Amino acid sequence: MRCVWLSTLVLAVCALAVGFVLTEPLPVTANNKAVKSSAVTIQASEEMTGMVYLPVVASIPLFDTAEEILIPAGSFQMGCDSSNPAENGCNNGWQNDELPLHTVTLDAYYIDKYEVTNARYKACVDAGGCTAPAGGVDSWTRSPYYGTSTYADYPVVKVTWNQASAFCAWAGGRLPTEAEWEKAARGSSDTRKYPWGNSAPDCTKLNYGYYNGDCVGDTSRVGFYPSGASPYGVMDMAGNVWEWVNDWYDSDYYSVSPGVNPQGPSTAPSTGSYRVLRGGSWFVIGNYVRSASRFYNVPDHWVNYYGFRCVRSQ
């Protein structure tokens, strides 16, 4: 029986049945998660502005809330599919680390619908859970970029893998694995080349192509390209900013990857201590915004077009 935020008149009736403390948490949904919560007990008979508060123990969101999308449990095909005519083969040297195409089965999880924004990241910094972007407050063409209301809903950039990981932990989640990221981008029904399908990228679907003088030449507001959404409705999985994921990079990992919930190499490969990035950015050409494309860098590196998003296990 929940008797919270009711009028004094109604509470007078309701209070007759109250001799206990409610302990069930507030509901957590895919679109409104309660994160970094604490139990808060409000004493009976406390009055404020004419309202009466009864004893309640509730899960109160203190820090980060963000819209999430549930990715259901099940299998999908991960990697480059040489039988897909749109891929034009997968043996071009730079695509070898996307082979072999293999079946991966994942548990259900939630993924951020949008890349982490300047506003969300700043909330973590202000709360003491994160440090300011390692590369400073400017973007490629905007000064300042981070910390201003003008670009509050644009993706945070110039963050290292370590900073991205710290934010996700503060927000009650974690960085996605490569497999989780790719399933959210590609879906499970086919081996499409891009999140939207096999048609060629253009500036109506994503922000990319700085090398060719295309599109914006810097970041775009998150969710600005609905026609480029993934099959699950996840936004900006191609272009805008490269997204850090959890895995260490190993060019041969797909040949030894487990088929269920792969986590990447357990330790940094001897060939280099790199973490993986996925999705391409506003800076790159079309080959790098493919759903199977893999990129990597050292975890303490930052660039004008590195960002991230978080996931949460169901």
Residue type for 2, please? Answer: R
The 3-class secondary structure across 247-303, one letter per residue, is EECCCCHHHCCCCECCCCCCCCCCCCCCEEEECCCCCCCHHHHCCCCEEEECCCCCC
Give the model's pLDDT for residue 271: 57
**Domains along the chain?**
8-60 (no CATH), 68-313 (3.90.1580.10)
Task: Provide the pLDDT for residue 23.
Answer: 30
CA distance 223 to 305: 16
Q: Return the exposure string of 120-141: e unless at least 16 CB atoms fall within 10 Å of the residue's CB, then b.
A: bbbbbbeeebbeebebeeebbe
Query: Which residues, at least 6 apart from 256, have a Cβ–Cβ distance to it below 8 Å?
Result: none
Reported as a single tens digit per residue, the pLDDT across 267-304 is 776 656 899 999 999 999 999 999 999 999 999 999 99
Question: Which residues are 69's β-sheet partners?
Answer: 111
- Per-residue confidence (pLDDT) for residue 50, from 0 to 100: 41
Give the rounded distance of the alpha carbon of 184 from its chain centre. Answer: 10
Pairing of strands 102-106, 57-60: unpaired
- For 52-62, the pLDDT digits (tens) are 333 333 333 34
pLDDT value of position 6: 32
Residues of the chain with pLDDT under 50: 1-62
